[in-house]
Chain A
Amino acid sequence: MFPQFGATADTLSKASTMVFRIGTDAHLYDDPDDVSIAPLLDSKFDSEKCEALKRLLALIAQGIDVSNYFPQVVKNVASQSLEVKKLVYLYLLHYAEKRPNEALLSINYFQKDLGDTNPLVRAWALRTMAGIRLHVIAPLVLVAVGKCARDPSVYVRKSAANALPKLHDLRQEEHALAIEEIVGLLLNDHSPAVVGAAAAAFASVCPYNLSLIGWNYTKLCEILPDVEEWGQIALIGILLRYVIARHGLVKESIMFSLQCTESSHSVKDGSYVDFGKVKESTDMGGTCDYEFVNMVSRCYIEGPDEYLSRSSYANRESFELTCEQFTSGKSNDDVKILLYSTSPLLWSNNSAVVLAAAGVHWVMAPKEDVKRIIKPLLFLLRSSNASKYVVLCNIQVFAKAMPSLFAPYYEDFFICSSESYQVKALKLEILSSIATDSSISSIFREFQDYIRDPDRRFAADTIAAIGLCAKRLPKMAHICVDGLLALTREEFVTKDSEFGDQEAGILTQAIISIKSIIKEDPRSHDKVIIQLVRSLDSIKVPAARAIIIWMVGEYNSLGELIPRILNTVLKYLAWCFTSEALETKLQILNTVCKVLVSASEEDLCTFKKIFSYLVELAECDLNYDVRDRSRFLKKLPSSNLVFIGQEERTNDLPEKDLCVVAECILGRQTRKVKAESFSYRFYLPGSLSQIVLHAAPGYEPLPKPCSLFVDDLNVPEGTSEIKKRMAEHSVTDDYGTSSDRSDDESASDYDSQRSITESSGSGRGDDSEFTSEGNDNADPLIQISDISNAYENQNGVSQSSAANLGELMSDRALESWLDEQPGSSNPGISEQSDIRTSSARISLGDVEKRVKPKCYSLLDPATSGNGLKVDYSFSSEISSISHLLVCIEAYFKNCSSETISEITLVDEESDRTLDAEEKAADVNESLLASSNNVPTLVPMESIASLEPGQTSRRILQVRFHHHLLPLKLALYCDGKKLPIKLRPDIGYFVKPLPMDVEAFINKESRLPGMFEYTRSCAFTAHIEELDKENGDSLFVKDKFLAICESLALKMLSNANLCLVSVDMPVAANLDDASGLRLRFSSEILSSSTPCLITITVEGKCSDPLNLSVKVNCEETVFGLNLLSRIANFLVEPTLF
């Protein structure tokens, strides 16, 4: 009527909701892109960035792909605001896998954050970095995790433990050992919070490496109650596995009772004693289903699939548990301590912890103690429907294996109307399996109420449960049958059509239950069958009728009464045959046959008539099944089935056989099938598999008892062995674990004061030996007794060789340089550094001239080159076209006797027909402009012809894009195409960056922590040199200089670097080269990022030297690659 009023009301209500939503982010969610997000992201205010990120998050939440903002968002990782960081992390983790290349851009920021003084920032950075699941960064994450695992903050260490499974998920074999070592380290942590997370990591990373647990088993047990709840769950499972693997099952436990009952007959007297003991305890703890328990325990250990599959080959017992595989819970300390430490957890607030602890007691506890798990388990039933269901699934197995445990607590399984059907059904099943003579009456009273429940499916289940109870307790059978009969009478009085299928289901279920009770003991129930038959007239449900008719046929000769009524019944059935449903018809046919087979003489004639009548009827039935059945039965000749009129009874053998067949099919009473079908599958209590009843991914049965040997656990030996393996591993790997550790020593203390001194220490450069191994810190301190002596010594040595090769800095320069050291607040460190600075700086003048770049063969004349030989070496020239290009000198030599013409080298993919120059311009453009980062070659100027023996030199320019895989090229000569491979060398992806020592040290100090990578390797090339000089006595070079020279030469001939400085040690021992240090500087071609390399020598001059190579570079991936390349070529023998 008044639309404007409506509008006002609308705005009013909007306004009122606005009031409530002020300050929330609702407006961002409702309309996330009402402003443009991109400029907000680039804003310099954190609040605006925050808003932009929230808008992005809202879009993500609404399922919109906003990954195109990735580069802009990633930039903001560097933000100082934690909220911005957090939001960026959320965004990053959402899209990292989708846009791996951009995600890599963020790595450097993470590295920086990992060195932050705020533990929260460190933890977040680690968590997010590990969350970016890219194989490329796995080594970096591993290094970061290794560092954080030694972090002083508990929270960061916990994050490190949480990051391990993520790292493990990348499935990189080469890191497996390192990851396991970190798990071991974290399991050994003193903080419960870390241990919990480490336990979870252990469970997902290396669940089989139980020896890791063995080393600190007792400690883990003791710390268990203090571990946070989620970790407890994992830890309980691990400890259980360990104890089983180490000691085997416990003799007094439920799991054992069966093994001995089986094996005691075959095994010697020792086990007989055990058997007696077990018997006793069984009597104490009540009955338990041996066969069932046996199966359960075997399933726990082998996994049901394996166990059940074996059963088909009838060698189920092949896996025999010998008595040696058991231990006594009373004498074994490990078992005792596990039970002791898990028992209070039964009171935990967390239901999963309770169930896990209960599982341990179920498997390990002595029989008489198992009952302590019952009350806690029952207490769990007072929780949500979902967890109720899970708990009940587990209780069900326990109750079936040992009904006596739960029998007194039957009331707890009484059903509430508010429970879900699944819970109700489970409770019924448990009730029927724990019912005892004393409790059955109250259970039946309950059942009577349940039958009236509005949930008819549940009511039907109740009736089935009554049948089960009667089976378990034969004494109750009569009462049950009476009750069920009364029920059927009630049920068929009600007009079933009105209530539909469900009531019919109840009636059918009642009849099925009666049938199953009768089957147990047919003789005592013949009257029941007669009663049912009498009610056939009123029971309309086909399924129910079919079952009753089946019973008539099955028990037709039972007792006195049934045979007498058969005549009437069959007539009745024949009379109503046409109006029956399918299943009833089939059943009628069967029954008449059965009756006929076992009929006595006097009734035979009537039965035969009925039979032939029925068969005729059935042959005309609409349903093919009925027709088939009738034909089958008709052709089945039997003495009694023979039609009237066929008087001549031949005693032919085949006919006799057929009689037997008929008897077999129809005549025999069905044999008693085993009540319990043993197709159950059992999984460990509390596991997901136990709920879904098939092995869920990741499910593992218990380890084989006693599969873990004591030898594995020899603690010190084991550790050292692992360490040794780790050390070996680290040499072959991209980074050294040992050097990591030393890094950690310096990085582990984030206390601000220390970090200041530390950074000033690295500002001083080489002298403060923070980053090198701890053991060499002490040596020179003790050995140098008189510092000035050492100076003289060193000076003398240097001067003697100065004229020849080096120019030694003057004493004054050295001293002034020493004075420059910034004063340290830590006297201990400054004192140390004073002494450690006893080194002299020299310069190697002519080394650069002697640099001979290494030559590689591109094309071998003998094998594939038709006499053309192509060699190449990386050149230190800088490309004239672009700074991104790497110059390579290629030498083409004609080794054949004929002239080779038209030699060109092109990318394998590129088209040759293009004019070279045009193409060059073309390619130049494209390769400089495009972001396409496939390595490209600037086409080379072709060689028109090459005379035999002639050599031609060409400069190739290649843009490698930091790819380290061989570049496939095609060489055309004489019109033929030859595929060749050019191997990139990361050493030439850099160009020399000249600088002085101060600048170097300054730069180095700005690239600490994560931008610093260290690795050690051995160096032997100098030995040759020294040997050579020993022979040549005229020219005695200083050993140190020789080493410096060979080192520098090696470096410069393998990488495009600039030698910044050479520091000589001043040591008392002339033969001790420790402390020799070379610095090289370079910058990365593509990004002009400085890359600093420091090599520190350690060891004796005449022996192989131990080099520690350090690379400081902002680009971590590049830095690590360069480091490994350097370490590789330093180890290679020199070819002079």
Chain B
Amino acid sequence: MPPLMGIEFLCRVSDVLSDYLGGLNEDVIKDNFVIVYELLDEMIDNGFPLTTEPNILREMIAPPNIVSKVLSVVTGNSSNVSDTLPGATGSCIPWRAADPKYANNEVYVDLVEEMDTVINRDGVLVKCEIYGEVRVNSHLSGLPDLTLSFANPSILDDVRFHPCVRFRPWESHQILSFVPPDGEFKLMSYRVKKLKSTPIYVKPQLSSDAGKWCVNVLVGLRNDHGKTIDSITLQFQLPPCVLSADLTSNTGTVNVLGNKTCSWSIGRIPKDKTPSLSGTLEFESELERLNVFPTFRVGFKIMGVALSGVQIDKLDLKSTPSRLYKGFRALTQAGEFEVRS
């Protein structure tokens, strides 16, 4: 078996289990061991994946939820194994449950982007790219056929699709044509490379002053795109030879954990001042120079904007039902955002 197949399958198992159990840890698995057994039995057989499509699994084995829990307590009957074969197993679109019905037809499209950035020691932007996902939450009756197109598909460096996306329309016209699964799913992921700037800057400085090392980190907004930046965090690993660190900041809180990880959560950047972290490090012995420098990992979240600039042009439903609500959202957050010092 190809190793990637095994890894990919394990990822699916963990996705499905955490989807069912609302988390994945030893206790949760123990508490729901029957469901875990049943799920694994459906998902793999003789070392080959069987049914990994969450929609079908959910129809075969009911996820534990409040209603079923209460029901089972009340009636004492707790079968979560479906008696019938989900219709989708046989269809050409196994991801879609057979014929759901909704009073309101709704589709929500979210652009969720993660920014991977590397800023090197000289403050030069070495790498800045966006990894984005188009997440769709669809509640549509019947067998809807959707098309989604981007205003600027050319900026997408590479893409990967959910199995529901038809390849050929994308090949020819860069149009996503698909029959969506019911509920929430990841329609596609994309990559946009070589961005020119980051929304925030981080300027770390380490200087030695008579055997003492001073740390000074400044964080600020680089350009204003009209949206507020939330939950800014900064994390870095102190060099192993550090004995103690005395760090303070003018906004937010600073924590130094036992494993010499320092985390500074800033939250929102205040209007009036530039957040800064400063302090001194004490080493085991006096050093004239440091040969190991920490890397600062930055986290942030910006609602309402896709920094890559990807824009959804339109979303159409073939054979339009009476009413269709469409919603679009965007979100950018930091992925592997690293600033070296």
Find residues 166-215 in chain A having any chain B CB closer than 8 Å to their own CB: 166, 191-193, 197, 200
Instruction: Write the A53-81 contact mask toward B (1 if CB under 8 angstroms, else 0).
Output: 01001100100000000000000000001
Q: When A21-B31, A131-B46 are in contact, do A416 and B118 touch as well, CB less than 8 Å?
A: yes
- CB distance B2 to A233 under 8 Å? yes
- CB distance B2 to A352 under 8 Å? yes
- CB distance A379 to B69 under 8 Å? no
Residues of B close to A29: CB separation below 8 A: 30-31, 33
Partner of A452, one of B4, B49, B285, B291: B291
- CB distance B163 to A349 under 8 Å? yes
- CB distance A384 to B11 under 8 Å? yes
Interface size on A, residues (CB 8 A): 91
- Interface presence of B289 (CB below 8 A): yes
- CB distance B167 to A344 under 8 Å? yes
- Interface presence of A950 (CB below 8 A): no
Of A35-43, A360-368, A385-393, A880-888, the one with at least 4 CB within 8 A of chain B: A385-393
Most chain B CB inside 10 Å of its own CB: which residue of A86, A127, A375, A418: A86
Most chain A CB inside 10 Å of its own CB: which residue of B2, B31, B60, B157: B2
- CB distance A445 to B120 under 8 Å? yes
Residues of B close to A120: CB separation below 8 A: 60, 82-85
- CB distance B77 to A47 under 8 Å? yes
- Interface presence of A1041 (CB below 8 A): no
Residues of A close to B241: CB separation below 8 A: 498-499
Closest Cβ of chain B to A492, distance in Å, is 12
Residues of A close to B294: CB separation below 8 A: 454
- Interface presence of A155 (CB below 8 A): yes
Determine chain B's interface SS by DSSP, over half rule.
Answer: mixed
Q: When A378-B158, A411-B126, A416-B338 are in contact, do A118 and B85 touch as well, CB less than 8 Å?
A: yes
Closest Cβ of chain B to A207, distance in Å, is 13
Q: When A454-B237, A454-B294 are in contact, do A230 and B52 touch as well, CB less than 8 Å?
A: yes
- Interface presence of A460 (CB below 8 A): no
- CB distance B7 to A386 under 8 Å? yes
Instruction: Write the A197-240 contact mask toward B (1 if CB under 8 angstroms, else 0).
Output: 10010000000000000000000000001101110010000000
Closest Cβ of chain B to A150, distance in Å, is 15
Q: When A25-B31, A193-B94 are in contact, do A414 and B167 touch as well, CB less than 8 Å?
A: no
- Interface presence of A103 (CB below 8 A): no
Closest Cβ of chain B to A312, distance in Å, is 30
- CB distance A57 to B159 under 8 Å? no
Cα(A351)–Cα(B166), bound, Å = 18
- CB distance A348 to B160 under 8 Å? yes
Q: When A165-B46, A379-B158, A452-B121 are in contact, do A24 and B338 touch as well, CB less than 8 Å?
A: no
- CB distance B292 to A454 under 8 Å? yes
Residues of B close to A688: CB separation below 8 A: 1-3
- CB distance B171 to A344 under 8 Å? yes
- Interface presence of B326 (CB below 8 A): no
Cα(A83)–Cα(B37), bound, Å = 12
Residues of B close to A691: CB separation below 8 A: 3
Q: When A22-B69, A449-B121 are in contact, do A352 and B8 touch as well, CB less than 8 Å?
A: yes
- CB distance A57 to B37 under 8 Å? yes
- CB distance B8 to A414 under 8 Å? no
Instruction: Write the A10-31 contact mask toward B (1 if CB under 8 angstroms, else 0).
Output: 0000000000011111101100
- Interface presence of B293 (CB below 8 A): yes
Residues of B close to A260: CB separation below 8 A: none
Closest Cβ of chain B to A694, distance in Å, is 14
- CB distance A494 to B48 under 8 Å? no
Instruction: Write the B74-92 contact mask toward A (1 if CB under 8 angstroms, else 0).
Output: 0011111111110001101
Cα(A228)–Cα(B46), bound, Å = 17
Closest Cβ of chain A to B119, distance in Å, is 10
- Interface presence of B297 (CB below 8 A): yes
- CB distance A417 to B338 under 8 Å? yes
Partner of B126, one of A166, A347, A414, A498: A414
Find residues 421-468 in chain A having any chain B CB closer than 8 Å to their own CB: 442, 445-446, 448-449, 452-454, 456
Find residues 475-525 in chain A having any chain B CB closer than 8 Å to their own CB: 490-491, 493-494, 498-499, 503
Most chain B CB inside 10 Å of its own CB: which residue of A349, A386, A687: A349
Cα(A537)–Cα(B184), bound, Å = 68
Residues of B close to A50: CB separation below 8 A: 78-79
- Interface presence of B200 (CB below 8 A): no
Instruction: Write the A119-142 contact mask toward B (1 if CB under 8 angstroms, else 0).
Output: 110010001000100000000000
- Interface presence of B131 (CB below 8 A): yes
Partner of A503, one of B48, B161, B291: B291
The 7 residue pairs across chains A and B that have the minimum distance between CB atoms: A23-B69, A344-B167, A154-B90, A352-B4, A26-B31, A120-B85, A352-B5
Q: A26-B30, A47-B78, A454-B240 are in contact. List 10 more A-B contacts (CB 8 A).
A: A24-B64, A25-B31, A197-B48, A233-B5, A350-B8, A356-B2, A384-B7, A454-B239, A503-B291, A691-B3
8 A-B residue pairs with Cβ-Cβ distance under 8 Å, sorted by A, are A21-B31, A155-B85, A355-B2, A379-B160, A390-B7, A414-B127, A454-B237, A456-B292
